[in-house]
Chain A
Amino acid sequence: MAFAWKASGLTYNRYLAITARVVRRSLKEQPRLQAERRGEMELRFAKWEKSKQGENKNLAEVNSADMAEHAGKE
């Protein structure tokens, strides 16, 4: 099976996150406010080099930039 999302460089994980996000946004006001908190990710990371902490980066942003870079290469 050829999936359109795969051809554009997205991972299955990212695909699932998008489908889940759009489902949450389609909810009625009450359940939506409860559910949308689940979609937030605050993970940050930093690379350590020579005993020095590098720049503090947001994991979600770096991931999506990385996927955009690899888009259409498969």
Chain B
Amino acid sequence: MNSLRVARAAARIHPSKFIAPLQRRSYADAVSDKIKLTLALPHQSIYKSTDVVQVNISAESGDMGILANHVPSIEQLKPGLVEIIEESGGSKQYFLSGGFAIVQPGSQLSINAVEGFPLDDFSADAVRSQITEAQKIAGGSGSEQDIAEAKIELEVLESLQASLK
């Protein structure tokens, strides 16, 4: 009996509650669908808190596309391509040597890398000649450290060669 009265009282309160300002959106609180991207190298900032639509990165945990309102996370980058889809709809590609991508709350993305260049700056011939050289060292009888370094170089060069195609 008592619960019935409560239910009726609730029904009486409810309608008026919903007539009140019906989730009006003003310009200020409209949620942005852009990411603020900062792409920084030790010697240069390629992007400085610039609004972009999407960023595709190749992280150690897998390739991923980052849009606005992405869950905050920290990703270690593989030597590989980062693709940035800009507001105008065009896209830009940079090859990064390795670093970190940090997604912060509020659609902020910071990418830090040691070296990063647009693909036009690379020479396919230089990549090819370095691959043969690194393969020789990796398969040779040098010190363990030399072999490890050659294997790292091979990984970078193969990723670079795949991006250049």
Question: How near does chain B come to A12, taking the closest CB pair, in angstroms?
Answer: 9
- Chain B interface residue count, Cβ-Cβ cutoff 8 angstroms: 30
Q: Are B160 and A26 in contact (CB under 8 A)?
A: yes
One digit per residue, 1 when the CB lies within 8 angstroms of any chain B CB and 0 when it does not, for chain A 8-41 equals 1110000111111011111111011001001000
Q: Are B97 and A19 in contact (CB under 8 A)?
A: yes
Do most interface residues of chain A lie in helix, strand or loop, or is the interface mixed? helix
Q: Are A71 and B148 in contact (CB under 8 A)?
A: yes
- Chain A interface residue count, Cβ-Cβ cutoff 8 angstroms: 29
Q: Are A15 and B160 in contact (CB under 8 A)?
A: no
| Bound CA span A8–B150, Å | 12
Cross-chain contact of B115 among A15, A29, A35 (Cβ < 8 A): A35
Cross-chain contact of A10 among B79, B123, B148 (Cβ < 8 A): B148
Which residues of A approach B to under 8 Å, CB–CB?
1, 4-5, 8-10, 15-20, 22-29, 31-32, 35, 38, 64, 67-68, 71-72
